[in-house]
Each structure stands twice: as C-alpha cells, then as structure tokens.
Amino acid sequence: MSLLDDIKELLLPRTCPVCGKLLMESEDVMCAFCAIQLPRYRILNIEDNILLRMIWDKADIKRGTTFLTYNHHSSYHKLIIDIKFHGKSDLAVRLGQWAALEAKRLDFWEGVDALVPVPLTRWRRFWRGYNQAEMLARGMAEVTGLPVVNLLKRTKNRTPQSRLSGEARLKNAEGIYHATIPEEWRGKRLVIVDDVMTTGSTLANCAQTLLEADKDAQLCIFPLSYAG
C-alpha cells in the first residue's frame, strides 16, 4: 500500500459490508469469512430452472442462472443495498466477477456474444453515478472477455419496482423499456444482467423489448440474486 492508501485507510477505515468488521489489507470488498459464507443459489440446469419457468410465458429465454439467494432478513442483503444506494460500484464489479466464475462451471457462457445490463432511467443513473446492473456486467465481462452493450433504455420514471408486488409490478414495468439494436448485434446470444430477480417482471419486460426489436435475438438472463 502507498502512503496515500495508508492515510485513506486511517481516515476512512474499510469495513465489511456484511458484518461491519474492519477489513484487513488482503481483503478487498468484504471479509474472508463473509465471502466464504455467501448465500449461493445453486442452479443445476441452466436451460430449465425456476427462473426460466417464471418468465417463459412472457418471453422465450434460452438460459438462465443466478448467483445468490436474496433474503432481506439476512445481513447479506446489505450487499444489494450497498451496490444500489451507497455508491459501492467496486463491490458490484467484484460480485459480477464471482457470479461469472460460478456460471463458467455450468458452461453458461458457451456461445454468448454480449452482456446487456437492465437500464436505469437517465435521471436515476445521473444521481446514482452509475448503473449497478452495468457494473455487475462489467465484472462479468472481466471474467468472460465479453463486451457490455447498452441496447436497452428506460424511458419513464415510474414507481420503483421494489415498492410494488405481483400484478402491479408487471403493469408498472410495461412499456418503459426501449431497445435499439444495431445490425452488428442482431441475431446474437445476449445475456440480460440485473441485480435482483423477484417476480421476474423486469427481466421479462426487457426480454420482450429486445425480442420486439430483434426476433432472432437469443436471450439469456443472469440476475445476481434471486429472491425466491
């Protein structure tokens, strides 16, 4: 560590986002104990699983996987809060890397052409300083070598999905995504990346939007966590 890093460490001690304990120099985004205990969500079949079955009636998705179980009673849910609301874009990149490595073991990346993050509205993106789904995708890109392409845009600022449930979510999400797919990205195998999948309505809407723009697109989904 440089002197500047030492001073920074002294003024702003780095803590584990899960348990709050001070991080050691060798630990970068969370403590080793919490990293080992990450609540993995085990996907056994990337072509037929609970995530896909939640979306199949709305969009044809070829593959789907996830990395973590999202449970807002667990202290691990602070990871999602941190990447969404506390400016921890580096944590999002690291989680994206870990998730991508896990998916590699399932051959999830076989034949994939690009990563497409679920977008934020311009306004939200501006205030947050980054799009957490894009940071996750960037972490995945570092492991897979795939490009991150922002093919989706979010146009209307409605009620955040986290405040709604079931039907209301689907209605709220209808028609808010738009896709512009340049020739070079047509007919490609694209992975839609998001932070949390709950009812699947956001991912389903993004998938429908991409398929309307390019019926030959082959879509996969990769939410970092699943609130099942």
Smaller CB distance to Zn ion: residue 17 or 223? 17
CB of 30 to Zn ion, least distance (A): 5
Smaller CB distance to Zn ion: residue 19 or 50? 19
CB of 214 to Zn ion, least distance (A): 43
Q: Report 110-169 residues binding Zn ion (CB under 5 A).
A: none
CB of 38 to Zn ion, least distance (A): 10
Residues binding Zn ion: what is the number (CB under 5 A)?
5
Dist CA 189 CA 29 (whole Å): 31
Smaller CB distance to Zn ion: residue 34 or 207? 34
What type of residue is 43? I
192 and 209 in contact (C-beta within 8 Å)? Answer: no
Specify burial of residue 80 (Cβ count, 10 A radius: 0-12, 13-18, 19+). buried
DSSP assignment, residue 142? H
Nearest to 113 by CA among 212, 202, 187: 187
Smaller CB distance to Zn ion: residue 37 or 165? 37
Dist CA 221 CA 59 (whole Å): 11
CB of 78 to Zn ion, least distance (A): 10
Those residues with Cβ within 8 angstroms of residue 170's Cβ, 6 or more apart along the chain or in another chain: 199, 201, 204, 205
CB of 21 to Zn ion, least distance (A): 5
Dist CA 177 CA 175 (whole Å): 6
Q: Report 8-47 residues binding Zn ion (CB under 5 A).
A: 16, 18-19, 31, 34
Smaller CB distance to Zn ion: residue 2 or 26? 26
- Please report, as ranges, the residues that interact with Zn ion according to CB under 5 A: 16, 18-19, 31, 34
